[in-house]
Structure 1
Amino acid sequence: MQDCYEAGLQTSMVVRSPTYIVPTEYVTHPLSLGAYDGGVEAADKLFNSIPTCIDAQLSRGLFGMFGSLEPERYAGLKKAGFPVIDSNDPSQSLISNLLETAGGHYMDVGGAKVLEEGKVAIKALVEPVAYTPSGLKLSDGSIVDTDAVVWCTGFADKNVGEVAEEILSSAATTEEVSDETGEPHLGPREIASRIDNTWGLDSEGEIRGMWKRHSRLDNFWIMGGFTSQHRWHSKTLALQIKAALEGILPPAYLDTPSAKPSGACL
């Protein structure tokens, strides 16, 4: 949106639902990810070694404190018609957006000011329902004439099990397959059906299905997330694989397979 405006294009934004807006300086503050200015190894340990639930509560409190110091920061944006949620809302947790919904927030790198100043038109709390010869029809019956439509609707494949079959093979089978030795092997569909759900939190408040063994599938791990998680969990994952190869990997802890209610912890 901001790039379109700066390129000289007449731009409109369709905002389907209220959006949590987080100023970049909240995230880069020394009490937040700005801790990485003091060293990568120490910051990785700080952010990855505490339970996710506790991390979420701490970050929500921190951002809430920042928001309380400037309660009217996005008043102009609200006046312009954008349904903004800010860090003064106690129900908001950036970690919940990152781990549970894979979206629903905007990291404000300047786009909010462009909207506030009316440089980009806003169509709020409506959804596109159809294309028209000249643009889009929205759920309120209005028509937006446009030469191009850019969809920015987030991620739909946060649960790896839903896309694993496609990733593993385009020729799925419903039966076990065998290699040249005659040993049975699971096909892509069987593998996908045995993968635990990923992302979101389990009933103990920990991330589901990532960097750990799966309850119905041996010798299968999934890596994902942001860079610090890659650095941190690649070590724990490597230790699991090494222990399995050495025959000393203990049984997996599988007492909490269910998902927790969304927002109950974060």
Structure 2
Amino acid sequence: MGSVGTRFPTPAVSITKHPATLPRSPIDDDIDKERVAAAVLPQLLDLTAADLTDNAIWRDSLALTGTFRTFFSRELVANTWRHLCKKSTIQELSITAGSAQILRFGPEACWLQASFSFRTQGTFPSVCSGTLGLVPHGYSWKIWLITTILEQPLGFPDVDKLEPGPADTDHPGCLDCIVIGAGLAGLDLAGRLKSMGLSYMVLEKSVEVGDVWSKNRYDSVKMHTSRDYNQLPGLPKTFTKEDYPYYLGSEDLARGFKSYVKTFGINVTTSTRVDAATYDAASKTWTISAEREGTALQMSARHLVLATGSMGTRPVTPSYMNHGKYQGHAMHSICWKNAKPWKGKRGVVIGSANSAHDIIADMVSEGFTSVTLVQRSKTWVLPASTFGALVDPVFNPDTPSEVSDRILLGNPLPIQRLIAMEGIRACADKIPEYFERLEAQGFKTERYGDLWGILCDREGGHFFDVGSGELIAEGKVKVKSNALPLAYTESGLSFEDGTELDADVIVFATGYKGDMKENAKRILGEEVGENLEEFWQCDQEGEIRGAWRDTGHPALWYTGHGYAHARYYSRFLAMRIKADVEGRPIPQWSGSC
């Protein structure tokens, strides 16, 4: 099957442990920002530690390292930058006109930021972009932040340019890439592969594209992030303001996925279950064994990508005593479809994150006589107004998704975490009454959430309030948060404080286990899968493990997570696959200076 590196899996390190900090030097608004940036930019041609702040940080996205790396501290950034610049021969540095601006977050965090472009002339000549973050130091300026991003290898198509067109009908015997899964991540990557002129096929087990949303989830499920945050790559945008709501529901997502496949001619084979895949190192080829409507299929490809769902499909359900006593219906949210069968009954939902709130809203709308949310721990709540204030200026109908993605995801992740925390705190402080109304009903809120800490470390457990919080604040949904469930009774649940709660239906909105690596084991075999990288959580540099980067196998990749992540990072994965197919793989630097 080929070589699997013994360094995998990489140990997980909480992003909250990263030592990155934001600069807090005051900057006057009326300075000539572009002049300052243009004066500092040439320092990158011969960078020294003296040019940098003590807390300097640099994130490279394939431009100089060929992978995703984040370097922190004055000496490490300077030494690594000089080393890699010699290898890549940076030239044609230029500040992007009109990009220089002063960024302020919270009462103190502040820096001057400007975008720039450059080219590399090393072993893999490319067009690249970057940003500089500058802070004043006496009468001069020092570099606090550098980001560098691979935009387009010379001679390659533009990975961000996908236009409407027909599907490919002429497939070679051995494809460049096979993608397993036609959900959001699989379609994102498929669009990128098509833009690069690669031969590919997406294999989807469902009968139709979009079934994972419209048929395999509860009816009231909806995205708790905005329509424009959740776009797929390519123009025209799939989810338009005219045709889709701000919060996309399951039917909206299914309709959008189908439209995307038709509009951009994405190659998808549905009703296809992948059973196994083996790799021949000599020919550098995957052989994929599948079944479609009872017929065995065999396909071959140079690269294999798992887009099988990274957020988990294995439900986590707490176990309580005396389950056999209960005369009602108990289920995990994965089995919940809608509240109609229990109209006029009593409902209990255990859990306090997004799914739980979708389900309590469904119960209320169907006229349940009582709805109770069992909250087991304090929950971070992000009101819709906060999300809108922080995200809508970046993700909106007028801004191309590729521009928005670089603003959100081009930064070092530890820095993006700190920026988000500052913004969330500022917004929360403006609406104390919102949290007070929830807390008055017994819902325990965390006002100042660590969004990126949650996303990178846990992948869930938070509540983006898109309306159901008002049901709690008004008392239409009761909250039980002072004791944990202990056992079932004939009519419901008993709790540690001696109280009981009656319910005709109990729904466990208690999350899932991530299963990307488990899917890899099922397809590739236990021995191979066990040595692969894990999917998600951060390494010691603050970079995500496994996703869109080395998995431990030279031709196997993971893609997944949320819409913005899958959309943005798929561009880099497509370029890596293209480079390998062209016979000149992007060289990776895994060293340290």
TM-score, normalized by the shorter chain, greater than 0.5:
yes
Q: What is the aligned partner in structure 2 of residue 231 from structure 1? A: 567
CA distance in 1 between partners of 2:426 and 2:402 (Å): 27
Q: What is the aligned partner in structure 1 of residue 580 from structure 2? A: 244
Residue 129 of structure 1 and its aligned partner are, at CA, apart by 3.8
- Show the 5 A alignment for 1:41-52: 41-52=402-413
Change (3 A) 1:162 1:128: farther
SS class of match (2:404): helix
Change (3 A) 1:141 1:209: farther
**C-alpha offsets along residues 193-246 of structure 1, whole Å, 9 cap, x if unaligned?**
0221221111111111101112x3221110002222222112100111122233
Q: What amino acid sits opposite 1:224 in the alignment?
A: G
1:36 has 2:389 as partner: no
> 1:130, 1:138 within 8 Å by CA — same for their partners in 2?
yes
1:80 has 2:441 as partner: yes
1:201 has 2:557 as partner: no
Residue 165 of structure 1 and its aligned partner are, at CA, apart by 2.4
1:15 has 2:352 as partner: no
CA distance in 1 between partners of 2:499 and 2:536 (Å): 37
Change (3 A) 1:129 1:219: farther
Q: What is the aligned partner in structure 2 of residue 106 from structure 1? A: 463
Q: What is the aligned partner in structure 1 of residue 415 from structure 2? A: 54
- Show the 5 A alignment for 1:71-220: 71-87=432-448, 92-157=449-514, 160-166=516-522, 168=523, 187-214=524-551, 216-220=552-556
Q: What is the aligned partner in structure 2 of residue 176 from structure 1? A: none
SS class of match (1:72): helix
Change (3 A) 1:164 1:123: farther
> 2:491, 2:503 within 8 Å by CA — same for their partners in 1?
yes
CA distance in 2 between partners of 1:25 and 1:77 (Å): 16
CA distance in 1 between partners of 2:519 and 2:461 (Å): 22
User: How many residues get paired?
Assistant: 230
The more displaced of 130-139 and 103-112 is: 130-139
Change (3 A) 1:141 1:220: farther
CA distance in 2 between partners of 1:131 and 1:164 (Å): 37
Residue 188 of structure 1 and its aligned partner are, at CA, apart by 1.6
Q: What amino acid sits opposite 1:165 in the alignment?
A: K
Q: Give the alignment's Cα RMSD to 1 decimal.
A: 2.1
Q: What amino acid sits opposite 2:493 in the alignment?
A: L
Q: What amino acid sits opposite 2:484 in the alignment?
A: E
**C-alpha offsets along residues 46-73 of structure 1, whole Å, 9 cap, x if unaligned?**
1121111111111111111111222332
SS class of match (2:463): strand
**C-alpha offsets along residues 57-100 of structure 1, whole Å, 9 cap, x if unaligned?**
1111111111122233211211211111113xxxx211222222
The more displaced of 78-87 and 16-25 is: 78-87
Change (3 A) 1:217 1:80: same
Q: What is the aligned partner in structure 2 of residue 184 from structure 1? A: none
Unaligned runs of 5+ in 1: 169-186, 257-266
TM-score (norm 2): 0.37
CA distance in 2 between partners of 1:140 and 1:255 (Å): 56
More strand by share: 2
CA distance in 1 between partners of 2:483 and 2:555 (Å): 46
Change (3 A) 1:238 1:11: same
Q: What amino acid sits opposite 2:542 in the alignment?
A: G
SS class of match (2:395): helix
Unaligned runs of 5+ in 2: 1-359
CA distance in 2 between partners of 1:149 and 1:253 (Å): 52
Q: What is the aligned partner in structure 2 of residue 63 from structure 1? A: 424
Change (3 A) 1:127 1:205: same
TM-score (norm 1): 0.78
List structure 1 segments (4+ residues) > 6 angstroms apart after TM superposition. Answer: none
> 1:102, 1:154 within 8 Å by CA — same for their partners in 2?
no
Q: What is the aligned partner in structure 1 of residue 365 from structure 2? A: 6
- The alignment-based identity, stated in percent, is 30
If you compute each CA radius of gyration, which structure gives the higher value, 1 or 2? 2
Q: What amino acid sits opposite 1:58 in the alignment?
A: I
**C-alpha offsets along residues 142-163 of structure 1, whole Å, 9 cap, x if unaligned?**
3221111111112321x62244
The more displaced of 42-51 and 10-19 is: 42-51
CA distance in 1 between partners of 2:409 and 2:497 (Å): 44
